């Protein structure tokens, strides 16, 4: 009986995840010109997508565990536990985005013998990382809240949903940040 319920909760979401991967890949295809104009940007994409997916899913898992432990529930979500997790997620996103930008800069020089503008590359990564962190943190809270209200097990839904939303949101944030930084700098 439990397997049937898990399948009922997860299958539509997994189908949606497949479609989300197609959207994220299509966004990458649209970015072809920007990727050619900004050296090193292609190096950033796998790292920042992995960053957002990992931080968001870990955040969702922590909230799911807090739910199972009775620390938070649908009526008592906005407590210190949630606030500390939000702050930790955002700070981690900010710091790791800077590190990814620096590593992408160094990697581009070492492996491709191309010298990108370090300020431009790090700015794109930082801006995309922070914007996607804010969006995905809010999405995580909404997903957890909806899952609680519907009585579903958060472990069946948050991981796949956040990984997919993370890919899509992060690709759009990289794309938007690259355009914005390209216009400004």
pLDDT for res 67: 81
Is pTM beyond 0.75? Reply is: yes
In whole angstroms, give the CA distance from residue 79 to residue 62. Answer: 14
For the residues 14-24, what does the mean pLDDT come to?
Answer: 81
pLDDT for res 93: 92
In whole angstroms, give the CA distance from residue 52 to residue 92. Answer: 10
CATH topology of domain 43-184: Tetracycline Repressor; domain 2 (1.10.357)
pLDDT band per the 50, 70, 90 thresholds, residue 116: very high
Q: Which of the listed ranges 15-19, 156-160, 169-173 does the model predict with the highest average pLDDT?
A: 169-173
Residue-wise pLDDT for 123-132, tens only, equals: 999 999 999 9
Residue-wise pLDDT for 40-69, tens only, equals: 999 999 899 888 888 888 888 888 888 878
CA 10 to chain centre: 20
Q: Where does residue 78 rank: exposed (0-12), middle (13-18), buried (19+ CB within 10 A)?
A: exposed
For the residues 139-153, what does the mean pLDDT come to?
Answer: 84
The DSSP code sequence of 23-63 is HHHHHHHHTHHHHHHSTTHHHHHHHHHHHHHHHHHHHHHHH
The DSSP code sequence of 84-129 is HHHHHHHHHHHHHHHHHHHHHHHHHHHHH-----HHHHHHHHHHHH
pLDDT for res 108: 94
Contact predicate 90/137, CB 8 Å: yes
pLDDT for res 146: 86
């Amino acid at each position: 009986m439990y397997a049937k319920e898990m399948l009922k909760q997860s299958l539509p979401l997994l189908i949606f995840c497949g479609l989300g991967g197609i959207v994220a890949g299509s966004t990458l295809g649209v970015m072809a010109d920007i990727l050619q104009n900004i050296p090193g940007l292609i190096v950033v994409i796998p790292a920042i997508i992995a960053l957002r997916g990992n931080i968001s899913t870990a955040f969702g898992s922590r909230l799911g565990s807090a739910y199972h432990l009775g620390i938070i529930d649908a009526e008592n979500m906005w407590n210190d536990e949630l606030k500390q997790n939000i702050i930790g997620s955002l700070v981690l996103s900010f710091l790791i985005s800077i590190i990814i930008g620096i590593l992408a800069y160094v990697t581009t020089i070492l492996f491709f013998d191309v010298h990108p503008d370090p300020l431009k590359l790090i700015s794109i990564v930082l801006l995309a990382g922070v914007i996607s962190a804010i969006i995905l943190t809010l999405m995580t809270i909404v997903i957890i809240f909806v899952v609680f209200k519907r009585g579903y097990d958060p472990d069946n839904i948050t991981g796949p949903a956040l990984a997919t939303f993370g890919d899509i949101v992060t690709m759009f944030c990289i794309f938007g940040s690259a355009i914005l930084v390209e216009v400004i700098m």
